[in-house]
Amino acid sequence: MDSMDINIIRYVFIASASIIVLHRLLYKYINIYLPSVMSDVLYSKYYVTTTKDDTVLAYLYVPKRWFKHFYIFSGPVSTVTLCLICYKFLFDGNIPEIVFALLDISLGTSRKPLIPAENVILAIVILNIQCWKRAYETCFVNIFGDQKMSLGVYFIGFIHYTGIFLCIVGESKGFIRDSHTSLLLYKLTITDIICTLICLWSSTIQLQSNFILAGLRKNEDGEIVTKEHKIPFDGLFKYITNPLQFTEIIIYIMLSVILWQASTFHYITIWVITNQLVCAVLSHEWYHKTFKNYPKERNILIPYIW
């Protein structure tokens, strides 16, 4: 096999999903046996609130508010990607050789032109809306506390958004050497339109949920008065602990339906589902341990079901 003919993105996200499952199993079954140092590294996203300034571990953590960096990065990348595909699909522009080389390195030299142009544009437009909305949320809505996250969590965020755009463009008709395509928007199906509307609904619910969480840390005049966690009761929080994870899963499932002909994107969806499920379970457990009056009827992720 040609050393370049390896779908790196596929293996990266298979590994990421596997590691997050291992992470959960370690926490559930052997956390009490782990040294505190290892436990902190594994579970810092939820349980480390201050860095250990007197140890080398201080360098393994970054402020959780650095989540905004993912979207400050992915917003412009999503727009550049949209401009690139419009240049190709609308004007039949010549793609620079460096783009083909990057896609070959990421997805392998035997990658196939699987995704129609109209589905690619639809997915990239949705991702533009989502990335820029998240940039707005993390920069202007979210009120971050003093929590820390591990460098591993920090870097996987950049890998995630880089992988999304590479795998969509890399399997698009027109972005494989000597392949050609036409943009035929009438080929979009009712299913594609419904999936798009569901994505937009989910993104709106995410924004509403972040406003609710931010409101818990403000007074009636909109001033920040605390950075402590409180129990939310409005919106989808009436029914589930994790509206953000619930809607994130829905968005990626809908994108997978829109991009159903793709080969690699579905591995990213599996990674997202796995990661969000683990996050949801850990968050639900944390709320129950932290707040004795936490609503017992509230489900983890799916209203009235689980």
- Map the chain to HEC letters: CCCCCCCHHHHHHHHHHHHHHHHHHHHHHHHHHCCHHHHHHHHHHHHCCCCCCCCHHHHHEEEHHHHHHHHHHHHHHHHHHHHHHHHHHHHCCCCCHHHHHHHHHHHCCCCCCCECHHHHHHHHHHHHHHHHHHHHHHHHHCCCCCCEEEHHHHHHHHHHHHHHHHHHHHCECCCCCCCCCCCCHHHCCHHHHHHHHHHHHHHHHHHHHHHHHHHCCECCCCCECCCCCCCCCCHHHHCECCHHHHHHHHHHHHHHHHCCCCCCHHHHHHHHHHHHHHHHHHHHHHHHHHCCCCCCCCECCCCCCC
Helix axes 8-30, 151-170, angle to 10 degrees: 150
Integer Cα distance of 212 and 218 in angstroms: 10
pLDDT at 119: 96
Q: Is the distance from CB of 61 to CB of 54 less than 8 angstroms?
A: no
- Percent of the chain past pLDDT 90, that is, above it, reads 63
Residue ranges covered by each domain of the chain = 8-290
Q: Which two tokens stand for residue 224?
A: 């920040």
User: Comparing 109-118, 147-156, 201-210, 258-267, which segment has the lowest mean pLDDT?
Assistant: 147-156
Q: Is the distance from CB of 139 to CB of 72 less than 8 angstroms?
A: yes
pLDDT at 149: 82
List residues bridging with 224 in a β-sheet.
218
Average pLDDT along the chain? 88
Integer Cα distance of 220 and 224 in angstroms: 10
The pLDDT confidence band at residue 48, using thresholds 50, 70 and 90, is very low
The amino acid at 102? L
Contacts of residue 102, Cβ cutoff 8 Å, sequence gap at least 6 = 166
Handedness of CA 115, 121, 122, 127 (dihedral sign): positive
The amino acid at 200? L
pLDDT at 47: 43
The pLDDT confidence band at residue 195, using thresholds 50, 70 and 90, is very high
pLDDT at 34 over 70: no
User: Comparing 20-29, 92-101, 136-145, 147-156, which segment has the lowest mean pLDDT?
Assistant: 20-29
| Residues 262-280, mean pLDDT to the nearest whole number | 94
User: Comparing 15-24, 98-107, 245-254, which segment has the lowest mean pLDDT?
Assistant: 15-24
- Percent of the chain past pLDDT 70, that is, above it, reads 88
pLDDT in tens, 85-136: 999 999 888 889 999 999 999 999 999 999 999 999 999 999 999 999 999 9
